[in-house]
Structure 1
Amino acid sequence: MSSELPDFVREAAEVTVTAGSRVFGQGDRAENYLLVTSGSVKVFARSDEGREVVLYRVAPGEMCTLTTACLLGRTSYPAEAVAEVDSVARAVPAARFADLLDESPEFREFVFASFSGRLNEIMQRFERLVLASVDKKLAGYLLERADEHGVVHATHENLALEIGSAREVVSRHLKALESRGLVELQRGRVRILDEAAVQALT
């Protein structure tokens, strides 16, 4: 993977974060421009009641949108991030990040193109969370996270957190989908049986 990275990223320090470890917390200052090279980082906010709302994930080859925004605006993080699995990232210190923006057209293009693309994805997710029905949000998430066998490894509680709903509501909708033959519910996972029908719900 590292050989495919731009020089300015490949030359940055490599940081390893173990599964479950915090990458940053709400109120922290952004100290490095981060680009994940392996693993997965979940970025989320907390409601006043303490419920998690997942904003997005950072996969290999992607940068953290909030980190970029905080570095550009010199502001603190408004959300939190944890490594979902053992993860590795390249870290460009904030001072070096500012220098590269001034000195390197290639770096500027990389940063702003990545930022723009991820921001569009986040806005689409936000629209789904706020405006879409539970069925539509649930169907979209199942399709997005299903593995090659059509299986999503998640509890009803996990699914509720991901789509910004309550566990009881998600359970009710999943059972309705199961009764229609669209999915099969198993302990800790959901198997999609009729992908076309689930797709039609989105």
Structure 2
Amino acid sequence: MTNPTPGSAIRTIDRAAAPAVNPEKLLNLYPPLSGLSTEQLAALLQAQALMHLPAGTQVFAEHQPCNGFPLLLEGSIKVVKLAASGRELLLYRVTPGGSCIISSSCLLGHSDYNARGIAETPITLVALPAASFTKLMLEHAAFRDFIFHLFAERIGELMQLVEEVAFARLDQRLAKLLLARQQDVLHVTHQQLADELGSVREIVSRLLKGFAAQNLVTLGREQLSIINRPGLQKLAAV
């Protein structure tokens, strides 16, 4: 895990000044840890820091070593792959109680990050040191099963993403993305939508203007409104 400046965010935290972790909240979000004894949990909590990071913070960076495993308590982290052209492709999101499989794969394989994680919102997370992660994987079956189960889920999601990128038209993917927000008024820029689709703003803007011409959406400044959800659903299913 890293911050916007070179180096590790974990190493820059003053552990003595870090606020205490709420064990109950941690266990509610990550039930596999409930199998630990009181002494084991206390030792684990002493070895890690509670981190509060603002939106836009780079939690970890590509080609940098993984120094810990994030247990997310609040907020959302998007994990993206950056092309040489500067275009981004959203791989997945990490939400409270979830797992970052790139962090776990880097820790298990002793390799550097091959993508980057960015805080979409203000986030609160527990930074589980690499040694503690390895110990849990070796000694606690429930935690190990949790990590491997989420591996399987993420791989399924990534396979679906590959299929969509390879075989689905961009207008279909854009329609699906708008519908997935589950809101009629979306406060989002054309650039943000392009980043999620791994496309460029100009193409997404042109598609959105086409949607507006078909009376599927109305466009505003940094927002759009869905006015024909069935029409978008039909387009997404083509």
Query: TM-score surpassing 0.5?
Result: yes
The offset of 1:123, in angstroms, is: 2.2
The offset of 1:129, in angstroms, is: 2.6
What are the Cα deviations for residues 16-73 of structure 1, in whole angstroms up to 9, with x where unaligned?
2221111011111111122212111111121111222222221222111211111111
Identify the residue that residue 8 of structure 1 maps to in structure 2.
33
Do the aligned residues in 1 keep the contact of 2:216 with 2:232 (CA within 8 Å)?
yes
Q: What is the rounded CA distance, in whole Å, between the counterparts of 1:22 and 1:62 in structure 2?
A: 18
Identify the residue that residue 210 of structure 2 maps to in structure 1.
176
How many residue pairs get aligned? The number is 200
Q: Aligned match of 2:102 in 46, 53, 66?
A: 66
Q: Does 1:32 align with 2:32?
A: no
Do the aligned residues in 1 keep the contact of 2:27 with 2:33 (CA within 8 Å)?
no
The offset of 1:75, in angstroms, is: 0.8
The offset of 1:188, in angstroms, is: 0.5
Do the aligned residues in 2 keep the contact of 1:65 with 1:119 (CA within 8 Å)?
no
Do the aligned residues in 2 keep the contact of 1:151 with 1:189 (CA within 8 Å)?
yes
- Counting only pairs closer than 5 Å after superposition, residues 110-125 of structure 1 correspond to structure 2 as 110-125=146-161
Alpha-carbon RMSD: 1.8
One-letter identity of the residue aligned with 2:164: R
Q: Does 1:50 align with 2:75?
A: no
Q: Which runs of at least 4 in structure 1 moved beyond 4 Å after TM superposition?
A: 9-12
Q: Aligned match of 1:152 in 180, 186, 204?
A: 186
Q: What is the rounded CA distance, in whole Å, between the counterparts of 2:59 and 2:126 in structure 1?
A: 13
Identify the residue that residue 200 of structure 1 maps to in structure 2.
234
- TM-score under structure 2 length normalisation: 0.78
Asked which structure has the greater CA Rg, the reply is 2
> SS in structure 2 opposite 1:48?
coil
What are the Cα deviations for residues 152-178 of structure 1, in whole angstroms up to 9, with x where unaligned?
221112211111222221111111111
> CA 1:84 to 1:100, structure 2 compared with 1: closer, same or farther past 3 Å?
same
- TM-score under structure 1 length normalisation: 0.90
Identify the residue that residue 127 of structure 1 maps to in structure 2.
163
Runs of at least 5 residues in structure 2 that lack an aligned partner in the other structure = 1-24, 35-40
Identify the residue that residue 162 of structure 1 maps to in structure 2.
196
Runs of at least 5 residues in structure 1 that lack an aligned partner in the other structure = none
One-letter identity of the residue aligned with 1:120: G
> CA 1:70 to 1:163, structure 2 compared with 1: closer, same or farther past 3 Å?
same
> SS in structure 2 opposite 1:135?
helix
- Counting only pairs closer than 5 Å after superposition, residues 70-85 of structure 1 correspond to structure 2 as 70-85=106-121
> SS in structure 1 opposite 2:231?
helix
> SS in structure 2 opposite 1:190?
strand
